[in-house]
Structure 1
Amino acid sequence: MAMDSPARELDKVFQEFKGKKPEELLFTYKGVLYPSTVCCSETFQALDTMEVRKDDVFLVVYPKCGSNWVKQILSDLASAVSKNKERVSPSIHLQILEFGPPEKFQKMKNLPSPRVFTAHLHYDNIPKAVFETKAKILVVFRNPKDAAVSYYHFYNKNPGLPTMSSWDEFFQKFMRGEVCWGSYFDHALAWNKHMDEENIKIITYEEMKENLPGGVKQIAEFFGFSLPEETIESIAENATFESMNSKSEETHGKFGSIFFRKGTVGDWKNLFTEGQSQEMDAKFEECLAGTKLGAKLKYDKYCKY
């Protein structure tokens, strides 16, 4: 039988999650927490020897900053430029670099170009071959307040992650980097150092929300995908929150409602206390104020009352 559709595969994963005890859901690798239901240390070790093609497409996103959204855009762009119009969406364990068993790297060799890979990984944990081949990497960031709120809801709706007793508990863990994939601010500081490299492009969730066709066009141009304007428009229409949410059960199975919740900017105002807002403001000031990425995030516009 052919490979399961991503939706069916996700449903199987959902069922596996449900049988786990809270203490079985996480493990630590090199000081960072990961969900043990989809990640393992053997796969992290195998990542170091992954074979990379020059035309591979890499999307790196801190959790809940728009990975499913932009992955859809990249998959549609890759399909539009591919000679193979019958591109089959690969298994989620092939799409997401750090997911699945280490044997998956053999299967990756059979995927047609351009291969689209996603990761939530810190810059230091991206396979070295990605940088050596100068493969292009699109990095998406979202303002940290909305990222934290979205991540909180994701923790509590996802059976593969331990439930948080309250928003206050999650906020403190988020600020200390004691969540899966570690600290948002550590990720941001690492990528900020590489913003000017020609094979790296950083785009924000907020600029995509403001002008989705413009964002799709920027992404297409960065990867050298030459496509007519009407194709760009069509891909943008297919990637609105409303469009993706309406098809989420078909594309993501039981995870549909978990991955696609609101897709808005400014939802942080519904959960943050004034004290938490000030604490995040101070952290941003300490870590990112005066940096290129800090300016790109437009913190004063999106994270102040």
Structure 2
Amino acid sequence: MSRNRERFIEILENSFSQSEKIPPENMLFSYRGILYPALLSSPETFEAMKSFEARSDDVILAGYPKTGTNWLGQVVRELESTDAKYTEEEMKERINAEKKLEIFPRLEFGDPGIYERLKKLPSRRIILTHLPPHLLPPSILQSKAKILVLIRNPKDTAVSYYHFYNNMPLLVSFTSWDEYFAAFMSGKLTWGSYIDHLVEWNNYIDHENIMMISYEELKEDQVLGMKKIAAFFGFSLCEEDFSRIAKKTSFQAMKEKSKETHGKFGDILFRTDKIQNIKDAAIFYFYSYSWDEYFTAL
């Protein structure tokens, strides 16, 4: 959601410092049966989120953790700002507004008062979330706001989330892959089950205001993927714009700037962008489920 790098870094590094003083059992909280980081949100925030008022021109990006949402967010910000042709002064005003209002980088993060503050942000607002449809504020699905849903093959998502969990100070580490994998498959991780997340979003695949795009599709041909995203949101860019943004938002380019853009979080966030082939992903899926569950999940 935020374009303000300083604010993003400040939020995370303050949380990292606080995490050192909190016992493991207090690191997470449960809301409607799903776990979340206690230093980034609260049950009160989730209750307040129901009042969030979506606008028809909101740009909403949804994806489970470690499916590539940080990358997608940066890509879409570049596309949106290029289309809007903000002047340097206008961009400064938008950044200052987010800093002054203490906006957080995900819809579900922050204190309960954040949704009142969000009303004061100028359009177009870019809103990121890891939430599935049933936990989104009702106004999002009821409005004409467009939602871009990012998906990634489950094997890569599971492996990436494993490393993230064991390196992220705000989460409780796992002692082994087996322990982690059992939690992944049973949805006992923050943001719950990735399989449930996929299945629920799949119910909206034909919704006129929702488009799904895969991490693998974007990696294979980023320019083509960005053109699809731009067409979906109604952004108008020239061929040179797409090439420039693709170069600026490549994994390597973002990793090299991660200290500047994400502070200490950069080393945790940007690990690798490798993609497993679809056969490996399918085998992973199959051995994790019975035949009935496997085909239902697909």
Give me the TM-score of the superposition, normalised by structure 2. Answer: 0.89
**Mapping 1:65-104, distance limit 5 Å:** 65-85=67-87, 86=91, 87-88=94-95, 90=98, 93-104=103-114
- Report deviation, 1:3: 9.7
Residues 1:169 and 2:196 are matched in the alignment: no
8 Å CA contact 1:77–1:220 kept in 2: the answer is: yes
SS at structure 2 position matched to 1:94:
coil
Partner residue of 1:299? none
What's the C-alpha RMSD, in Å, of the aligned pairs? Answer: 2.5
Give the direction of change, closer, same or farther, for the CA distance of 1:210–1:3 in structure 2 (3 Å limit). closer
- Report deviation, 1:169: 0.5
User: Which amino acid is 2:95 matched to?
Assistant: V
- Report deviation, 1:14: 2.1
Partner residue of 1:302? none
Deviations 1:153-211 (A, max 9, x none): 01000000001001110001101111111111111111111101110000001111101
8 Å CA contact 2:8–2:105 kept in 1: the answer is: no
User: Which amino acid is 2:129 matched to?
Assistant: A
Divergent runs of 4+, >4 A: 267-270
1:289 alignment partner, one of 275, 289, 295: 295
User: Which amino acid is 2:147 matched to?
Assistant: I
8 Å CA contact 1:25–1:35 kept in 2: the answer is: yes
8 Å CA contact 1:145–1:268 kept in 2: the answer is: no
Partner residue of 2:56? 54
**Partner Cα distance (1:162, 1:268) in 2:** 30
- Report deviation, 1:4: 4.4
**Partner Cα distance (2:286, 2:139) in 1:** 40
- 90-99 vs 60-69, which moves further: 90-99
Partner residue of 2:274? 264
User: Which amino acid is 2:188 matched to?
Assistant: E
- Report deviation, 1:238: 1.3
User: Which amino acid is 1:46 matched to?
Assistant: A
Give me the TM-score of the superposition, normalised by structure 1. Answer: 0.87
**Partner Cα distance (1:197, 1:136) in 2:** 10
- Report deviation, 1:244: 0.6
Unmatched segments (≥5 aa) in structure 2: none
User: Which amino acid is 1:178 matched to?
Assistant: K
Residues 1:135 and 2:137 are matched in the alignment: no
Give the % identical residues: 43
User: Which amino acid is 2:14 matched to?
Assistant: K
1:10 alignment partner, one of 9, 12, 20: 12
8 Å CA contact 1:37–1:160 kept in 2: the answer is: yes
SS at structure 2 position matched to 1:5:
helix
Deviations 1:44-89 (A, max 9, x none): 1111111111000111101110110101011112221235331428
- Report deviation, 1:8: 3.1
- 105-114 vs 123-132, which moves further: 105-114
**Mapping 1:95-244, distance limit 5 Å:** 95-244=105-254
- Report deviation, 1:290: 7.2
- Report deviation, 1:219: 0.9
Give the direction of change, closer, same or farther, for the CA distance of 1:278–1:189 in structure 2 (3 Å limit). closer
